[in-house]
Amino acid sequence: MLEAVVRASPDARPAENIRGIAVSEGLVIGRVRVIRDAVARVARKVVSKEQAKDEVTRYLHALKASVMELDALYKQAEKEMGKKAAEIFVFHRGMLSDKSLVEPIRKRIETESVCAEWAVQQAFTEIAALYAKNTNSVFASKVNDIHDLSQRLLRHLMGTQPAKLSDLEEGTVIVARDLTPSQTAAFDRAKLAGFATDLGGKTSHTAIVARALGIPAVVGCQALLSRVSDGDLIILDADRGIAIVHPSPEQLEEYRAIIEQKRLYRLSLTDVAALPAVTQDGTSIELLGNIEFAEEVPAVLGMGGQGVGLYRTEFLYLARDTEPTEGDHYLAYKTCLEELTADGQSRPLTIRTVDLGADKYTQSRAEVPERNPFLGCRSIRYCLQPRALPMFRKQLRAILRASGLRPGVIKVMFPLISSVGEFRQAKYLVNDAMEDLAEEGLAFDPDIPLGMMVEVPSAALMAETFAREVDFFSIGTNDLVQYTLAVDRTNERVANLYTPTHPAVIRLIRDVIRSARRHRTPVSCCGEAASEPDFALLLMGLGLRTLSVTASSVPHLKRLVRSVSIAQCERIARQALSFDSEAQIATFLRDRARKIVPEAFDGRTAE
Ligand code: PEP
Ligand code: MG
């Protein structure tokens, strides 16, 4: 988290609070730098047949230059922001290599005898319109990328330079209608204190990049741009999703105090990482890390995590153009395993089999996208269809081979299991892969635990049955909340309804834990809610002893665990279950968490 404090006298104008969507935490007081869309506009220029040939050549050169530029941008972004955020440029690169986009532009130049700029602009405008019309938010969110790409090609054709964004002053808060991935990659990060945009949602690229960089960001502010000018004083409260323009002296003083308190709290967390996660009454809580890439394992361990509770392996597919081979899978798992056991200790590595579909990967590649991909062929369903079986088998073989390197470390977890048949089918495929490996004389762990995520109500309601079949459960609240409450987790319009404190969600979690206990089936939680101190108290009170969260949340949780007793958590859980509204439960849990770890809060009331 980056918190810059700009020493400045307040503006004379009245303060205005503008609400948006918080996408990466942090507070900052800074000076506004407005970025306006500089759209290159081109006119339709008709050329002779002969000149059209030259236009095609110019177009192909611009295409090549853009691809080279994107390769360089990917490398730079990967180094500075990590693989996940850099994927955006892989998508851009993929589009420019897509014949169905590139060829029609060439043909348009030839058949209509028009200049290359016009053909490019027309083609991209048409695609953007198609994407914008699509009700699927995954496609709609790509309009900004299409715009970014078309501007890149046009710049190369017109020989113009990209807007310079590297001359920022320290403590700058960028305010824009929206930001393209290329713009965000070009900022001088040492000077950039925060972003605020009028457009965008929780999963927009600005949000992903802001999180990857650890920079406070508020998106979806709707009317911020029209209220600010360059140099205006602004408070960006990304914890609560608010931008305060022209803050008053009192607001500035209040925020400076909060920023200082948060700084001290963060400093205090560095000592906590090395301490055991044991409650005041002596119960050990296992704190594990959620990762998307093998390279994140050292961060998990550095933050005091005791292993990996969720490895989202679909990112092996999302970060590249081609499907990973069995060798790619194996190498990734081996890398994690080696990091986790480097000092001779045996720390768990829970590998979740690919969770593709819904908003990840398949829709952008499908000839006919699904109308409702979150209720469609995603996750384990996708893997079990005949077309995807070879891909799934490849992954299972790689996991098993890696398990042979150090038996007892790797566990396999299947996502989105909604019926017993699915789990049995997946288990059958694992056994099949074991037989093949045995025939080939390759080592594997024959007792590798096979578990499932509980992230749909049908699985939670059938937990008693599943508990007899599986080796472990991990509750995935991110999806469990969306499917229990019928609230799309990526749709900002219903974001206010997406709440893990809904009594229905809590009852499902309680019942899963009870069933697991009866059958001595280990159970954990790996959804985002587990990283909220309020919700973690409830989970411990309901009986969970293993929580898996992003690396940066581990020290926060450790501090909480060490400050509370299980008896206290159980009382909290009992009381929470007695309320019938999500708002009551949320307020109650927040209040309790505030009392237990006041230093984790900043003294403000929750909004
Ligand atoms: C979940 O659904 O809670 C989960 C951890 O999986 P993902 O966020 O990858 O869907
Ligand atoms: Mg999930």
What pLDDT, on a 0 to 100 scale, did the predictor assign at position 11? 60
Q: Is 376 helix (H, G, I), strand (E, B) or coil?
A: coil
Nearest ligand 1 atom to the CA of 476 is 3
Residue 179 alpha carbon to ligand 2 centre in Å: 28
The verdict on the CB of residue 534 being under 6 Å from ligand 1 is no
Average pLDDT of span 214-241 = 90
Q: DSSP string spanning 38-94?
A: --------B--HHHHHHHHHHHHHHHHHHHHHHHHHHHHHHHHH-HHHHHHHHHHHH
Q: 264 pLDDT exceeds 80?
A: yes
What pLDDT, on a 0 to 100 scale, did the predictor assign at position 4? 47
What pLDDT, on a 0 to 100 scale, did the predictor assign at position 119? 93
Residue 476 alpha carbon to ligand 2 centre in Å: 6
What pLDDT, on a 0 to 100 scale, did the predictor assign at position 526? 96
Instruction: Report CA dihedral (34, 148, 366, 310) to the nearest 10 degrees.
Output: -50
What pLDDT, on a 0 to 100 scale, did the predictor assign at position 607? 46
Average pLDDT of span 5-31 = 78
| From 93-102, 139-148, 554-563, the region with the lowest mean pLDDT | 139-148
Q: 146 pLDDT exceeds 90?
A: no
Residue 478 alpha carbon to ligand 1 centre in Å: 5
With bands split at pLDDT 50, 70 and 90, how would you rate the model's confidence at 222? Answer: confident
Q: Tokens standing for 409?
A: 């470390």
Nearest ligand 1 atom to the CA of 455 is 2
Q: 431 pLDDT exceeds 90?
A: yes
pLDDT in tens, 276-291: 999 999 999 999 999 9
What pLDDT, on a 0 to 100 scale, did the predictor assign at position 196? 92
For ligand 1, atom 1, the nearest C-alpha belongs to 476
CB 210 within 8 A of CB 216: yes
pLDDT in tens, 390-404: 999 999 999 999 999
Q: Indicate the burial class of 405 (C-beta count within 10 angstroms; 0-12, 13-18, 19 or more).
A: middle
What pLDDT, on a 0 to 100 scale, did the predictor assign at position 350? 98
Nearest ligand 1 atom to the CA of 310 is 5
For ligand 1, atom 6, the nearest C-alpha belongs to 476
Average pLDDT of span 364-370 = 70
What pLDDT, on a 0 to 100 scale, did the predictor assign at position 207? 73
Average pLDDT of span 407-424 = 98
With bands split at pLDDT 50, 70 and 90, how would you rate the model's confidence at 604? Answer: low
pLDDT in tens, 73-94: 888 778 777 777 777 788 888 8
- Can you tell me which residue has the tokens 């001290």? 264
From the DSSP assignment, how many helices (H) and strands (E) are in the chain? 24, 16
Nearest ligand 1 atom to the CA of 415 is 6
The verdict on the CB of residue 292 being under 6 Å from ligand 1 is no
The DSSP code for 99 is H
Q: Compare 339 and 195 and report the one with higher pLDDT.
A: 339
Question: CA-CA distance, 571 to 555, in Å (whole number)?
Answer: 24
What pLDDT, on a 0 to 100 scale, did the predictor assign at position 79? 77
- Return the percentage of the chain with pLDDT > 70, whole number: 89
Total-model pTM = 0.71
Average pLDDT of span 490-508 = 89
Distances (CA, A) of 504 to 92, 111, 448, 577: 41, 61, 33, 10
Which among 455, 480, 509, 524 is the best mutation to test ligand 1's pocket, defined by most ligand atoms within 8 Å of the CB?
455
Average pLDDT of span 145-154 = 83
For ligand 1, atom 3, the nearest C-alpha belongs to 476
What pLDDT, on a 0 to 100 scale, did the predictor assign at position 487? 92
Q: Is 192 helix (H, G, I), strand (E, B) or coil?
A: strand
- Return the percentage of the chain with pLDDT > 90, whole number: 57
Nearest ligand 1 atom to the CA of 526 is 5
Ramachandran angles phi, psi of 136, nearest 5° = -70, 125
The verdict on the CB of residue 527 being under 6 Å from ligand 1 is yes
Q: Average pLDDT over the chain, rounded to whole?
A: 88
What pLDDT, on a 0 to 100 scale, did the predictor assign at position 316? 87
Residue 525 alpha carbon to ligand 1 centre in Å: 10
The verdict on the CB of residue 484 being under 6 Å from ligand 1 is no
For ligand 1, atom 9, the nearest C-alpha belongs to 312
Average pLDDT of span 164-174 = 79
**Residues whose beta carbons lie less than 5 angstroms from ion ligand 2:** 455, 476, 479
Q: Which ligand has the shortest distance to the CA of 527? A: 1
Average pLDDT of span 197-210 = 72
pLDDT in tens, 543-576: 999 999 988 889 999 999 999 999 999 999 999 9
Average pLDDT of span 99-116 = 90
Residues 6+ apart with CB under 8 A from 166: 186, 187, 188
Q: 5 pLDDT exceeds 50?
A: no
- Across 30-39, 137-146, 212-221, 236-245, the highest mean pLDDT is recorded for 236-245
Q: 138 pLDDT exceeds 60?
A: no
